[in-house]
Amino acid sequence: MNGDLFGGKPAPGLIFLPGFALDDEAVLLAAAEAVAAASPFRVMAVPGGAQMSAAITNCGAAGWVSDRRGYRYQTLDPETGAAWPEMPDVFRDLAVRAAAQAGFADFTPDVCLMNRYAPGAKMGLHQDRDEADFAAPIVSVSLGLPAVFLWGGPKRTGGTVKLPLEHGDVLVWGGTERLYFHGIAPVKPGTHPILGAVRLNLTFRCALQAV
């Protein structure tokens, strides 16, 4: 299965769990709404001064933030001045089960970064390297509108392979692929039966503690 995803290109550090989150969609979406009620989605600036196109929020012991000074994890939400909402149990349980299924038995995420895409929103090619512990995997849960994941390599150049992601799909990234470039193509217009014109992505990280 994993070998087929990328036309036979081996990706040993990537495990695709299609539909893994479907059984929990209702509780996941209710929990996401509760998080966003406490720490609302907001569009952040990036160091060049431009705005990200996805809106983000976080839950857990810290949150990923971006501003003109750079990217970092911080324990307080800069918008509310308060701690980020606690990570809902249904979030953590799902991430831990997905990681275990992918062979990471002791994954204990301390942060969930939530990305909200409207049609047209995208995420340019980047690496995730603000976390303390690159040995831990990242678990990603896709909900709502479908999107095309762009999978690069260890360098920014060299092209990308496209992977369609649908509501309920879960991906676990570990090993060498953990630091590969990746992004999201502009989300196509559409309406999801539950979420409407929204794609929601949850990414679970070990951001603070080195395991």
**Which spans of this chain sit near ligand MD3 (rule: CB under 6 A)?**
113, 115, 123, 128, 138, 140, 171, 173, 177-178, 180, 182, 184, 201, 203
Partner from ligand MD3, Fe ion, none contacting 205, C-beta within 5 to 8 A by type? none
Report which residue type is found at 189: P
Residue with the CB atom nearest ligand MD3 in the bound state: 201
Binding site for Fe ion (CB under 5 A): 128
Closer to ligand MD3 by Cβ: residue 83 or 185:
185
**The two three-digit tokens of residue 140, written as one number:** 């990603």
User: Quick one: tokens of 183?
Assistant: 């992004």
Give the tokens for residue 153: 């390599």
Q: At 142, list the tokens.
A: 């896709």
User: Is the CB of 92 or the CB of 178 nearer to Fe ion?
Assistant: 178
173, interface contact from Fe ion, ligand MD3, none, CB < 5-8 Å by kind: ligand MD3
For residues 139 and 174, give the distance between their C-alpha atoms in angstroms, rounded to a whole number. 9
Q: Which is nearer to Fe ion, 77 or 128 (CB)?
A: 128
Asked if residue 73 lies in contact with residue 206, where contact means CB atoms within 8 angstroms, the answer is no
The entry of ligand MD3, Fe ion, none near residue 138 (CB within 5 to 8 angstroms by kind) is ligand MD3
Cβ atoms 123, 115 nearer than 8 A: yes
Secondary structure letter of residue 72 according to DSSP: E
Closest of 124, 162, 115, 119 to residue 142, by C-alpha: 115
Residue 63 or 88 with smaller CB distance to ligand MD3: 63
Q: Which does 171 bind (CB under 5 to 8 A by kind): Fe ion, ligand MD3, none?
A: ligand MD3
